[in-house]
Amino acid sequence: MSGRRFLITGANSGIGFCAALKLARKDAELILACRDVRKGEAALARLREEAPGVRAEVVEVDLASLDSVRRFAEAELARQRPLHGLINNAGVMALPRRTLTRDGFEMQFGTNVLGHFALTGLLWPALERAAADGSPRVVTIASIAHKRAHLDLDNLQGEKSYSPFRAYQQSKLADLMIALEMSRRVSARSSPVLSIAAHPGVAATALFSSQTTSGLERTIRTVLTHCIGMFLNDDAEGALPTLYAATAEDAVNGGYYGPQQMSEMRGEIVGPAKIAPHALDEVLAARLWKRCSELTRVCFL
Give residue-wise pLDDT tens across range 192-208. 999 999 999 986 555 44
**CATH of residue 270:** 3.40.50.720
Q: Is residue 282 part of a domain?
A: yes
DSSP state of 173: H
Say if residue 159's pLDDT is above 80.
yes
Q: Tell me which residues are annotated as active site.
A: 168
pTM: 0.91
Query: How confident is the model at residue 217, as a pLDDT?
Result: 54
User: In this predicted model, what pLDDT tens digit does every residue of 78-118 receive, in sequence order?
Assistant: 999 999 999 999 999 999 999 999 999 999 999 999 999 99
- Kindly provide the residue ranges of all beta strands, DSSP E only, lying in the chain, ordered along the sequence: 5-9, 29-34, 55-60, 85-88, 137-141, 194-198, 256-261, 266-272
What is the per-residue pLDDT for 263? 80
Contact 240, 198 (CB under 8 A): no
**Assigned domain for 116 exists:** yes
What is the sign of the dihedral through the CA atoms of 142, 145, 149 and 152?
Answer: negative
Average pLDDT of the chain is 92
- The reply to whether 222 falls in a domain is no
Q: How far is it, in rounded angstroms, from Cα 143 to Cα 203?
A: 10
- Cβ neighbours for 44, distance < 8 A, ≥ 6 positions apart: 32, 56, 57, 58
The domain of 63 spans 5-201+236-296
Q: How far is CA 280 from CA 151, 170, 257, in A?
A: 12, 14, 15
* In-domain check, residue 275: yes
pLDDT (0 to 100) of residue 206 = 55
